[in-house]
Amino acid sequence: MPEIAAGWHLCLDVAERLLDGYPVGPIRGRKARDHGWEGLREIYARQLEETCLNQQMV
């Protein structure tokens, strides 16, 4: 799931640039890694893990 979230994050970054008038091409594969995909994946993994742990405590 964190991989998917990181990918969508980059997709939304591309959409934001397009709407702001600064279009860029698709960011995928190695190019995604160059744009911070791995860091985003780690952030989403931590956030999702915390959410799951919090839900188990309830």
pLDDT tops 80 at residue 19: yes
21's torsion region: left (phi>0), alpha (psi -120 to 50) or beta? Answer: left
**The residue to which tokens 């915390």 are assigned:** 50
Domain borders along the chain are 2-57
- C-alpha–C-alpha distance, residues 27 and 50, integer Å: 28
pLDDT of residue 56: 74
Please give the average per-residue pLDDT across 14-33, as a whole number: 94
pLDDT of residue 51: 79
- C-alpha–C-alpha distance, residues 28 and 21, integer Å: 21
Per-residue DSSP letter, 39: H
- Indicate the pLDDT class of residue 55, thresholds 50, 70 and 90: confident
Q: For residues 57 and 18, which has the higher predicted lDDT (pLDDT)?
A: 18
Q: Are 43 and 8 in contact (CB under 8 A)?
A: no
